[in-house]
Structure 1
């Protein structure tokens, strides 16, 4: 199993959670094709809206890929993003990323450049710390 972070606005992350899918990097298929059934994803929300709204810097959701199927949908005319089905963990609560102590990810002063990719792998160590933080135990 691998662990990932998807960088998505909270507004878009809530839509994904309501409909149990993940769409990353403006609908690109490549990042989703790197994943496998059972892989875990944490959704990091830098802002409440895409390129606007309140600054959050929170990990809002955790989910797991249901299968390996990447599919395309017509979201609106001319825009057909790729998606993958996931199951969201409804027991976890949002956590401010900088409040999760001991993350390898944020120990790197340039981790924001990694976040600009929109979707990237993290270590098992960081995944466990995020899970603990989202349970209120970290």
Structure 2
């Protein structure tokens, strides 16, 4: 199993959550082909929307790949992006800055944003755990 980060605007992430899919690198297939069924993906959103959204710098969704192969969506003749099926977990949007010191893939916290320029990239299980724990806080139950 591999853990991934996919860098996508919040608006595009929300469309994927609603539709049960992910895209990467503006609909190109190469990174999606590296992913396998049951791999986990954390979505990092530098902006609210692409290309001109407001800065966000937060993890906005996480989920697991549900299919064996990439597929191409037939949206219109000009845009037929490649996708992977996803099962998303309930989570809360989480700013990245409080987590920077705990993430091993961030080598230099003064230049932390550089790593996300790759779009989609693999991370270690430790980093996935840090992010997942922050995004899925335990809600205390009420005692009667």
TM-score, with length taken from structure 2: 0.88
Give the CA deviation at 1:111. Answer: 4.2
Taking the aligned partners of 1:53 and 1:67, their CA distance within structure 2 comes to 31
Q: Which residue of 1 aligns with 2:88?
A: 88
Look at both structures and tell me which one has the larger radius of gyration over its CA atoms. Answer: 2
Taking the aligned partners of 1:22 and 1:93, their CA distance within structure 2 comes to 18
Taking the aligned partners of 1:24 and 1:111, their CA distance within structure 2 comes to 20
CA-based RMSD of the aligned residues comes to: 1.4
TM-score, with length taken from structure 1: 0.92
Partner-residue secondary structure (3-state), 1:33: helix
Equivalent positions of 1:106-125 (< 5 A) are 106-109=106-109, 110-125=111-126
Q: Which residue of 2 aligns with 1:76?
A: 76
Q: Which moved more, 1:63-72 or 1:106-115?
A: 106-115
Partner-residue secondary structure (3-state), 1:84: strand
**Contact 1:105/1:111 (CA < 8 Å) preserved in 2?**
no
Aligned residues: 136
Taking the aligned partners of 2:10 and 2:96, their CA distance within structure 1 comes to 14
**Contact 1:98/1:106 (CA < 8 Å) preserved in 2?**
no
Partner-residue secondary structure (3-state), 1:18: helix
Give the CA deviation at 1:53. Answer: 1.8
Partner-residue secondary structure (3-state), 2:80: coil
Gaps of 5+ in 1: none
Gaps of 5+ in 2: 139-144
**Contact 2:24/2:119 (CA < 8 Å) preserved in 1?**
yes
Taking the aligned partners of 1:86 and 1:38, their CA distance within structure 2 comes to 9
Taking the aligned partners of 2:125 and 2:64, their CA distance within structure 1 comes to 14
Partner-residue secondary structure (3-state), 1:106: coil
